[in-house]
Amino acid sequence: MNALLIIDPQNDFCNPGDKYGQNKGSLYVEGAEEDMNRLAVWIKMNKQKLDFIGVTLDNHHVNDIAHPDYWTDKEGKQPEPFTQITLKDVSEQKWLPLFEPKKTAEYLKNLELQGEYPHLIWPTHCLIGSEGAAIYQPVMVAMEEWAKLGTYYATIQKGAYPFTEHFGAFKAQIPDPAVAETQLNERFMNTLNQYDVVYLSGEAKSHCVANSLKQILDEAPDLAKKLIILEDTMSNVTGFEKLADPIYNRAKEMGVKFSTTEQEIE
């Protein structure tokens, strides 16, 4: 039995806009539309052989810890997208959180102790209920066609708790013990583990796909043995092309398989 896990195939990541630059996703990942077009064709080609499709959906409030509106400097200016903010910046009042200062400082402290991904400000993206948060149309059409065979795709919401990043499919970067949605989603891991093969795809390779993969490697090594990463269905955020290399190298060392959409499901 075969499952497909698609990470964040949403307009804000995948829509390149029209030839005039209109309607471009606010956090468009270069090449994402081509990735998702290939994935859509692959889903249609293999629809009789796919037993499960799970889709993660990034969903954020405007006032999110990684959005500009959450922060200000002493002059009242917001940080530009891709600004890195550290605990030192906050303690020196270079950047000031407009919400929950103690919680924000604790988050930055724990994130830096974790030592994996720095805290970056992103363009405001995937606002709850917005067009940018919707599934990119070619993938949506392919999923609809698959579902008409008599089954259901599963959606997994992430990112709505505004005081932590939530890149991975299974838990936030810094889980809050008082907030269930940030903690490890063992139920979803167990669902995927019911299948013989789990294909992994989505956006972005450098961030949300990489962290989803890392969470599987860390928390569910038995599931990791079932993974096949569809390499031509994911792209890096520009400027972060090497950020997740250690995660993918570790996956290869652990025996995770890599393939492309040129290969049909056997």
- Residues 140 and 222 grouped into a single domain: yes
Q: Choose among 86, 19, 29, 35: nearest CA to 58.
A: 29
- Residues 77 and 196 grouped into a single domain: no
d(CA 125, CA 10): 10
- Residues 96 and 164 grouped into a single domain: no
- Residues 82 and 140 grouped into a single domain: no
Range of the domain at 143: 2-60+134-259
**Can you read off the two tokens belonging to residue 86?**
């550290």
**Can you read off the two tokens belonging to residue 254?**
């652990």
- Residues 89 and 216 grouped into a single domain: no
Query: What are the beta bridge partners of residue 198?
Result: 3, 227
- Residues 202 and 73 grouped into a single domain: no
Does 121 map to a domain? no
Q: Choose among 133, 129, 131, 127: nearest CA to 62.
A: 127
Alpha-carbon dihedral sign for residues 9, 111, 174, 252: positive
| Boundary of a domain, candidates 52, 86, 114 | 114
Question: Can you tell me the mean pLDDT for 45-57?
Answer: 97
Look-up of token digits 């009242």: 76
- Residues 168 and 248 grouped into a single domain: yes
Does 120 map to a domain? no
- The model's pTM is 0.95
pLDDT value at position 91? 96
- Residues 46 and 72 grouped into a single domain: no
pLDDT value at position 148? 97
What three-state secondary structure class fits 55? strand
Domain count, the chain: 2
- Residues 75 and 163 grouped into a single domain: no
**Can you read off the two tokens belonging to residue 55?**
């889709």
Q: Would you list the DSSP string of 169-228? A: SSS-SS--TT-GGGS--HHHHHHHTTSSEEEEEES-IIIIIHHHHHHHHHH-HHHHTTEE
Does 123 map to a domain? no
Tell me the percentage of the chain whose pLDDT exceeds 70. Answer: 100
Is residue 206 pLDDT above 80, yes or no?
Answer: yes
Does 90 map to a domain? yes
- Phi first, then psi, for residue 112 (nearest 5°) are -70, -35
- Domain containing residue 217: CATH number: 3.40.50.850
Is residue 218 pLDDT above 90, yes or no?
Answer: yes
- Alpha carbon dihedral 57, 165, 211, 141, in 10-degree steps, equals 10
Mean confidence (pLDDT) of the chain:
96
Q: 221 pLDDT band (50/70/90 cuts)? A: very high
pLDDT in tens, 81-140: 999 999 999 999 999 999 999 999 999 999 999 999 999 999 999 999 999 999 999 999
d(CA 4, CA 106): 36
- Residues 170 and 241 grouped into a single domain: yes
- Residues 78 and 158 grouped into a single domain: no
